[in-house]
């Protein structure tokens, strides 16, 4: 039988693509004598036909790029696509905003600018996304003193 047909049979037996089937080039005559799947299985057990590993994609270039970005390279205006807001993750944006507001609120409490009740009230409002920034908290405190 033709080697190409045997290769196809071997691929079905090994459950892989034809390109991942290796046949011993020194034993082509013996391999070409195979007629059935059973014959191919026999050749596989004799290690005349083997399944090769699939070629993977190297992460080398990606690692190099990541290292450069960590150093601060490749972050200029020409590389940016999208606005400042779209480039930053929504959740990360929220976390940084809330942490800043809570830090400011803690400062107010330590300075004794606000009472304990006012602190808890503002804290819950921050959690609910009521304030856009520190300035709004400042105005809220002035109004509700």
Q: In 3D, which of 4, 1, 38 has the Cα closest to residue 23?
A: 4
pLDDT recorded at residue 24: 96
Tens of pLDDT, residue by residue, the chain (145 residues): 899 999 999 999 999 999 999 999 999 999 999 999 999 999 999 999 999 998 899 999 999 999 999 999 999 999 999 998 898 999 999 999 999 999 999 999 999 999 999 999 999 999 999 999 999 999 999 999 8
pLDDT recorded at residue 54: 86
Total-model pTM: 0.51
pLDDT recorded at residue 121: 97
pLDDT recorded at residue 29: 94
| Domains contained in the chain, CATH given | 3-51 (1.10.1650.10), 85-143 (1.10.1200.60)
């Amino acid at each position: 039988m033709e080697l190409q047909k045997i290769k196809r049979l071997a691929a079905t037996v090994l459950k892989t693509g034809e390109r991942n089937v290796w046949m011993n080039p020194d034993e082509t005559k013996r391999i070409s004598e195979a007629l059935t799947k059973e014959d191919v299985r026999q050749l596989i057990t004799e290690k005349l036909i083997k399944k090769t590993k699939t070629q993977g994609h190297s992460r080398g270039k990606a690692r190099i790029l990541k290292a450069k970005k960590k150093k601060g390279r490749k972050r200029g205006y020409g590389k940016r696509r999208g606005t400042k807001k779209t480039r930053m993750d929504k959740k990360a944006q929220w976390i940084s905003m809330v942490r800043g507001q809570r830090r400011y609120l803690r400062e107010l409490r330590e300075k004794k600018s606000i009472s304990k009740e006012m602190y808890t009230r503002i804290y819950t409002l921050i959690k609910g996304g009521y304030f856009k920034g520190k300035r709004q908290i400042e105005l809220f405190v002035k109004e509700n003193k």
